[in-house]
């Protein structure tokens, strides 16, 4: 990747919708993904193969994957916390899978019902299986700066989990400010430490925009050499196990911000606007 090229990974169908209370019809999810497929993304996170009890909104993961129109050159990714999720993802034809850990013990318990160490053990067979099948494996670390249950998270806690995901063979590790409370100074400190565990070329920034710091946090990350960011059309999003978490940073806002700074994303503004309008129409009035 040339230094001026930035890749945005689209999150709306997964991180964007997983927190919506009202169950959105499968056809509408498919229509959202199909619109997003026209925007110029290389990677789209479509859904999660997780427990239906934990995330009822994404219980139709298999049906969504079966109905989307796949655009050549786009990788359709899904979350897979365990082997059951991985097997289902393979049957559904996922191009990429992701495992998701946390830098905070409390969030790990609330999100995936186990400790950080236990989660790494659960991910190990998923990592092995994805390697065997040649499926790219992405990793997430949630709560890299702030945890909804514990407050500030130490940079070394984040770096430690990044290192473990790196060792499991993740080609890229996405650093999540899950509740969007991370200040640029805290993100800066976190990155300085995390960069001793993995190079910038293997890291992505995943910022939620609760307190309006997301774009500045992307700016700080760019200075540290990161060139991949997660975002969500229409700023959709929030995590069910992170009380108070707002949407992912808006894709169009990120694309405009990057373009003002002289970076290229390859995204099509008009198509992004269309996708964002459609994303908004799915949202329950609150």
CB of 49 to ligand HMG, least distance (A): 5
State the binding partner of 234 from ligand HMG, Mg ion, none, CB within 5 to 8 A by kind. Answer: none
The least distance separating Mg ion from the CB of residue 280, rounded to whole angstroms, comes to 19
Cβ-based nearer residue to ligand HMG, 38 or 117? 117
Cβ 178 to Mg ion shortest distance, Å: 6
Cβ nearer to Mg ion, comparing 15 with 146: 15
Under the rule (CB under 6 A), what is the footprint of ligand HMG?
Answer: 15, 18, 48-55, 79, 81-82, 84-85, 100, 111-113, 140, 142, 176, 178, 206, 239, 241
From 39, 143, 147, 239, active-site residue? 239
Which spans of this chain sit near Mg ion (rule: CB under 5 A)?
15
143 catalytic per annotation = no
Which residue has the CB atom at the shortest distance from Mg ion? Answer: 15
- Report strand pairing: 146-147 vs 151-152: antiparallel
CB of 66 to ligand HMG, least distance (A): 16
Round to whole Å and give the CA distance between 46 and 16.
10
- The first and second tokens of residue 157, run together, are 């806690």
Comparing CB distances to ligand HMG, the nearer of 40 and 247 is: 247
Q: Among Mg ion, ligand HMG, none, what does residue 81 contact (CB within 5–8 Å per kind)? A: ligand HMG
Non-local CB neighbours of 275 within 8 Å, separated by 6+ positions:
12, 32, 35, 36, 38, 39, 233, 234
249's contact among ligand HMG, Mg ion, none, with CB below 5 to 8 A by partner kind, is none
Distance in Å, CB of 148 to ligand HMG, minimum: 11
Name which of ligand HMG, Mg ion, none residue 111 binds, using a CB cut-off of 5 to 8 Å depending on partner kind.
ligand HMG
54 binds, among ligand HMG, Mg ion, none (CB under 5 to 8 A by kind): ligand HMG
Q: Supply the DSSP string of 240-259, one letter for each residue.
A: TTSTT--PBPBHHHHHHHHH
Measured in degrees and rounded to the nearest 5, phi and psi for residue 172 equal -150, 145
Return the number of the residue (210 or 265) whose C-beta is nearest ligand HMG.
210
5 vs 121, which CB is nearer to ligand HMG?
A: 121
Q: What are the start-end ranges of the H helices in 143-213?
A: 155-168, 184-194
CA distances from residue 189 to 34, 54, 146, 192, 195 in whole angstroms, order as listed:
38, 33, 13, 5, 10
214 in Cβ contact with 207 (< 8 Å): yes
Shortest Cβ contact with ligand HMG: which residue? 176
Query: What φ, ψ does residue 161 adopt, rounded to 5°?
Result: -70, -35
How many Cα atoms sit within 13 Å of 147 on the Cβ side?
Answer: 23
Residue 116: both structure tokens together: 């950080």
List residues with catalytic annotation. 239
């Amino acid at each position: 990747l040339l230094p001026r090229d930035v890749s945005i990974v689209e999150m709306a169908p997964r991180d964007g919708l997983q927190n919506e209370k009202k169950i959105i019809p499968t056809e509408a999810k498919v229509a959202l993904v199909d619109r997003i497929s026209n925007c110029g993304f290389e990677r789209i996170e479509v859904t999660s193969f997780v427990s239906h009890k934990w995330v009822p909104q994404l219980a139709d993961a298999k049906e969504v994957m079966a109905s989307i129109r796949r655009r050549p050159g786009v990788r359709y990714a899904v979350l897979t916390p365990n082997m059951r999720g991985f097997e289902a993802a393979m049957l559904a034809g996922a191009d990429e899978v992701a495992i998701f850990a946390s830098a905070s013990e409390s969030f790990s318990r609330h999100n995936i019902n186990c400790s950080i160490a236990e989660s790494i053990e659960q991910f190990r067979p998923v990592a092995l299986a994805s390697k065997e099948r040649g499926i790219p494996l992405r990793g997430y670390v949630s709560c890299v700066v702030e945890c909804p249950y514990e407050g500030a998270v130490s940079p070394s806690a984040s770096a430690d989990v990044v290192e473990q995901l790196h060792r499991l063979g993740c080609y890229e590790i996405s650093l999540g400010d899950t509740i969007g409370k991370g200040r640029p100074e805290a993100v800066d400190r976190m990155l300085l430490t995390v960069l001793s565990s993995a190079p910038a070329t293997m890291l992505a920034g995943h910022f939620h925009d609760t307190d309006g710091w997301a774009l500045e946090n992307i700016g700080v990350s760019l200075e540290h050499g990161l060139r991949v960011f997660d975002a969500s059309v229409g700023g959709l999003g929030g995590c069910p196990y992170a009380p108070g978490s707002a949407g992912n940073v808006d894709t169009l806002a990120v694309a405009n911000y990057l373009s003002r700074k002289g970076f290229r994303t390859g995204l099509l503004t008009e198509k992004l606007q269309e996708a964002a309008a459609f994303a908004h129409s799915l949202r329950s009035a609150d």
